[in-house]
Structure 1
Amino acid sequence: MVNFLKTVEKAKWRIMGIKNVVGVGVGYKHVGMERTQQKAIIIFVTKKEDLGNLSREELVPFKINGLETDVIEVGDIRFLEEDRKKHVRPAQPGMSVGHYRVTAGTFGAMVRDRSTGEPLILSNNHILANGTDGKDGRSAPGDLIFQPGEYDGGTKADRIATLIRFIPIQKGEAPASCPIANGVARIANMLVHTIRPNYDLKFFKREGVANHVDCAVARPLSPDLISDEILGIGKVQGIIDAKPGMKVKKSGRTTGITSGVVTAIGTTMQVKMDDNNNAYFSNQVICDMKSQGGDSGSLVLTEGNKAVGLLFAGSEKVTVFNPIQTVLDKLNVELL
């Protein structure tokens, strides 16, 4: 192997100057689709050409310094992360997507409606439906979904789907309706206004409602606009319940492919929706997998590509996701 590496080091720039060549290294020769045990100088090309279409200078030598070569077609090599935030058709899970009034999140998975059989885009309520409780007017079925999301440059020209349904998110606090509480607030505000005229005190009632999922689905404008193959991961190979210690991974719009281990299941968690609102979620899964803003909506899978959850929240130290079976049942869909 040493002789091969030395030869490649000496000849690499000459080889790279040949038409269509994008890389050169050392490996094992392929015959058809099978890898052999014969060492060879591997030459990577964007596209294999018929020998009759190439000049003598454009031919890859069969041997270099007496060492066998092998040509492998690989297409154009580019930074994979770039495509996550670009307009791509068909769009893959793992790419940027979002309601037209949302910055951007992640296209989690391609699912099938159990009633109609039509393919749909799965992500979070707060990505596809603008974090609505169903009564606040933040979104409505039929709203446009962009790919990429608005923050990544998405416009009406990038519309890919329309919102079809969502599970409402109930906030953890609501303005107090108690007459006594409101009376106390009025008296308190008279005192506050003598010091800070532009400030008001308000009482809020903590709701006992806990959410179970943050999810929604959108109908693509055409079925051929989306793919079921998760970017960088591949196709889903079934579903499984999360367990403490289970290794998991995801493909997200912001941090790409990351992995971690499940820390806890059956968790009730307070989640900040924004600076003014919290929501409570029950029966959630916590893991130490890295994620950041924009990764919301990512499908969480095992090492064997079995789906375990739908990512929707996190901090600098943990990631939180809904159990996938609950998501599918609530939305009446199934994974493809």
Structure 2
Amino acid sequence: MRGPTGGQVSDSSRQQAMSDFLRPQAPLANVVGFGHGVKWSDGRPTGEEAVLVFVTQKVPESMLPERDVIPRQMDDGTPTDVIAVGHVSAQRQPRQQPRRASEQDTQYRSDGSVAEQLSQLSRPLLEELREMGTLEPQLLRRRLRPAPAGISVGNVRVTAGTLGSVVYDFLPGATTDPPGPGLGVPGKFYILSNNHVLADSNRAQLGSPIVQPGVFDGGQDPADRIATLDRFITIQFAPQIPPAQHNNVVDAALGKVEFEDATRQQYFSGAPRAWRRRANVAVGDLVKKTGRTTNISFGRIIAVDATIDVNYGTAGTARFKDQILTTNISAGGDSGSLVTSLDNVAVGLLFAGSSVVTVANHIENVRALLRVEIAEQLA
């Protein structure tokens, strides 16, 4: 099911999509984003490049006002395809256990549509996983030192998310732009996760404690403190800032950690061996992640440059650009998981999703904005 290698919405199509689908005044009904992918027919990918329009749910054209009907193609001739993605939200552990799926949630999986196909693609793809036996639901919610990637973590102000990886500052002697591996020994080490996991969606103070496991999983400060909040990329939220003015590309933060307290090893998978440049991430690529809630899971990339609105609860709604969308590989509490290729090359940082899709930042953007190294070598 590999689609176009790399690829992105053309500038003209992007401008049209922003003005027509996500216009500041009266956006189209149910539309939450768009991106580049392949067109689907009868529930299967055709391989034909298309602008994917993401909606919370599909509604028959006959029931929509004419102004809310998505055109069959963009002005430059690129076809469109409407994909029901449900309600996309940031995925730290809810304060209450998630409700049972409603009939509306279930229909995304059972109506023979694109969503059903996407859901099936997110099932485990490697036969050797069967040798691992049944994974314990609590396996990644316990205290571990050194803490591996994929395990429960969080600021003391939040419930719980996932530790994505151990990273370190760009080193002196780097020559690439952004700087690549340099010379010498790293002076500081950090745990990498989401802003909404380590910094409480901009609200936590620098230096505030981070515990492992997260508070929801029994972590307490100071007994379980593993790190302190060092820095984060601020998220712009609506209604404080209109979505059309948002420049969000990552939901990412760092906690300073002692070298002996955490490890780059991903639970089940080993350490990331490289990171992948954005231009080399392609529709159809197989990916995996290890996360606090759903353990290890596998899926496919369905869009590589998505613009999508994400619900952060009381913090507001944030519009993110240049995002990776995959089939559903996550649930609440998996936020912060490192998304990799099947051979452990870092691809993205998971931060949001729904019952149908998962959303991740390009790891190249995370690396450049936080100015950290994710691995010793480049992909």
TM-score (norm 2): 0.57
- How does 1:177-196 map onto structure 2 within 5 Å? none
Higher relative contact order (CA 8 A, sep 6+): 2
Shift of 1:291: 0.6
Residue 261 of structure 2: which of 225, 233, 239 is its match?
Answer: 225
Shift of 1:113: 1.4
The reply to whether residue 126 of structure 1 matches residue 162 of structure 2 is no
Structure-2 change in CA distance of 1:100 and 1:234 (3 Å): same
The reply to whether residue 214 of structure 1 matches residue 214 of structure 2 is no
Higher deviation after alignment, 238-247 or 271-280: 271-280
Larger Rg: 1
Residue 107 of structure 1: which of 148, 154, 163 is its match?
Answer: 163
Corresponding position of 1:142: 207
Corresponding position of 1:166: 232
Q: Distance in 1 between matches of 2:144 and 2:162?
A: 13
Structure 2 gap ranges (5+):
1-132, 172-185
CA contact (8 A) 1:94 1:107 kept: yes
Corresponding position of 1:195: none
- Look up the SS of the partner of 2:264 in the other structure: coil
CA contact (8 A) 1:172 1:278 kept: yes
CA contact (8 A) 1:94 1:231 kept: yes
Shift of 1:265: 1.0
Q: Distance in 1 between matches of 2:341 and 2:134?
A: 27
- How does 1:14-93 map onto structure 2 within 5 Å? 81-93=137-149
Structure-2 change in CA distance of 1:267 and 1:206 (3 Å): closer
> Over residues 222-242 of structure 1, what are the superposed CA-to-partner deviations in whole Å (9 max), with x where a residue is unaligned?
210001100011111111132
Corresponding position of 2:325: 286
Higher deviation after alignment, 320-329 or 207-216: 207-216
TM-score (norm 1): 0.64
Shift of 1:172: 2.7
Corresponding position of 2:22: none
Corresponding position of 1:196: none
Shift of 1:275: 5.4
Letter aligned with residue 251 of structure 1: T
Residue 305 of structure 1: which of 327, 330, 344 is its match?
Answer: 344
Say what the alpha-carbon RMSD is for the aligned residues: 1.8
- Look up the SS of the partner of 2:365 in the other structure: helix
> Over residues 256-315 of structure 1, what are the superposed CA-to-partner deviations in whole Å (9 max), with x where a residue is unaligned?
000000000111100001157110000001000321000000000001110000000000
Q: Distance in 2 between matches of 1:287 and 1:207?
A: 24
CA contact (8 A) 2:156 2:214 kept: yes
**Total equivalences in the alignment:** 225
CA contact (8 A) 1:249 1:289 kept: no
Q: Distance in 2 between matches of 1:158 and 1:270?
A: 34
Letter aligned with residue 214 of structure 1: D
Letter aligned with residue 234 of structure 1: G
Q: Distance in 2 between matches of 1:206 and 1:106?
A: 27
Q: Distance in 2 between matches of 1:276 and 1:111?
A: 27
CA contact (8 A) 1:172 1:207 kept: no
Corresponding position of 1:245: 284
Shift of 1:83: 3.5
Letter aligned with residue 272 of structure 2: V
CA contact (8 A) 1:174 1:206 kept: no
- Look up the SS of the partner of 1:329 in the other structure: helix
Shift of 1:78: 9.7
- Look up the SS of the partner of 1:97 in the other structure: strand
Structure 1 gap ranges (5+):
1-76, 133-137, 176-204
Q: Distance in 2 between matches of 1:303 and 1:237?
A: 11
